[in-house]
Structure 1
Amino acid sequence: MPIKLENVGIAVRDLEAAIAFFTDLGLTVLGRDTVSGDWADTAVGLDGNHARIALLQTPDGEGRLELFEYIHPDAIETEPTQPNEIGMHRVAFSVDDIDAALKIAARHGCHPLRGVATYRDLYKLSYVRGPSGILVMLAEDLTKT
């Protein structure tokens, strides 16, 4: 059976702020919608499910994020995910210039958890705490320079 990753879905506190962050990093908005109704209740497993959504795509056309902001039921605030927690962990992006990407992130108030690390002279990488506490890994491939 063939299988393909369609997207990674992330619930956010502020859809517009999350869109601004990810589009500044280079993703493009493919579409927006407001979803609700019986089909949404069934698919998601929540009664009265109602959300504003946006689908974003990476410049290479391969990666997609679906961001959603709940209208109903109320979103549940939780502590930000830590790198060693079980479950959904992070979303990772390759970037041409990690320093430039970190400057973009900083304009949105998003900063590295600790700094920038170099992995075996292959990658420079850093985890940043993105909008709504999302862990975002940025990685620069050093073999392409």
Structure 2
Amino acid sequence: MPIKLENVGIAVRDLEAAISFFTDLGLTVLGRGTVSGEWTDTAVGLDGNHAKIAVLQTPDGQGRLELFEYIHPEAIETRPARPHDIGMHRIAFSVDDIDEALATAARHGCHPLRGVATYEDTYKLTYVRGPSGILVMLAQDLKKN
């Protein structure tokens, strides 16, 4: 059976802030809208499901991110995931220039959890806490340059 990753979906507190963060990192918005009705109730498993959504794509056209802000039922705040929590963990992006990506993240109030590490002179990488507490890994391939 062939299988293809379609997208990664993330519920956010503020859709506009999340779109701004990810588009500033280089993703583009493919579409926006709202979803509701019986089909979403069935697919998602929530009665009265109603959400604002946006689908974003990476510049290479391979990765897609679906962001959704719940209108109903009311979104439930949870503590932000930590790197060692079980379950959905983080989203990772390759970047050409990690310093530039971090400067972009900083304009959104997002900073490394601890710092930038270098792995075997191959990658520079870090985790930042993005909008709505999303863990975002940024990695620069040092062998690419």
Bin of the TM-score, shorter chain as denominator length:
over 0.9
Q: Does 1:133 align with 2:133?
A: yes
Q: Secondary structure of 1:86's match?
A: coil
Instruction: Give the letter aligned to residue 62 of structure 1.
Output: Q
Distance 2:120 2:82 in 1: 24
Distance 1:47 1:40 in 2: 9
Q: Does 1:89 align with 2:86?
A: no
Q: What are the Cα deviations for residues 18-37 of structure 1, in whole angstroms up to 9, with x where unaligned?
A: 00000000000000010000
Distance 1:136 1:4 in 2: 22
In structure 2, what is the equivalent of residue 122 of structure 1? Answer: 122
1:14-93 matched pairs, under 5 angstroms: 14-93=14-93
Distance 2:71 2:85 in 1: 27
TM-score by length of 1: 1.00
Q: Secondary structure of 1:19's match?
A: helix
Distance 2:115 2:104 in 1: 15
Q: Secondary structure of 2:34's match?
A: strand
TM superposition shift of 1:63: 0.3
Instruction: Give the letter aligned to residue 60 of structure 2.
Output: D
Report how many residues are paired.
145
Q: What are the Cα deviations for residues 87-116 of structure 1, in whole angstroms up to 9, with x where unaligned?
A: 000000000000000000000000000000
TM-score by length of 2: 1.00
Instruction: Give the letter aligned to residue 13 of structure 1.
Output: R
In structure 2, what is the equivalent of residue 100 of structure 1? Answer: 100
Q: Which runs of 5+ in 2 are unaligned?
A: none
Instruction: Give the letter aligned to residue 96 of structure 1.
Output: D
Question: Which aligned segments of 4 or more residues in structure 1 are displaced greater than 6 angstroms?
Answer: none
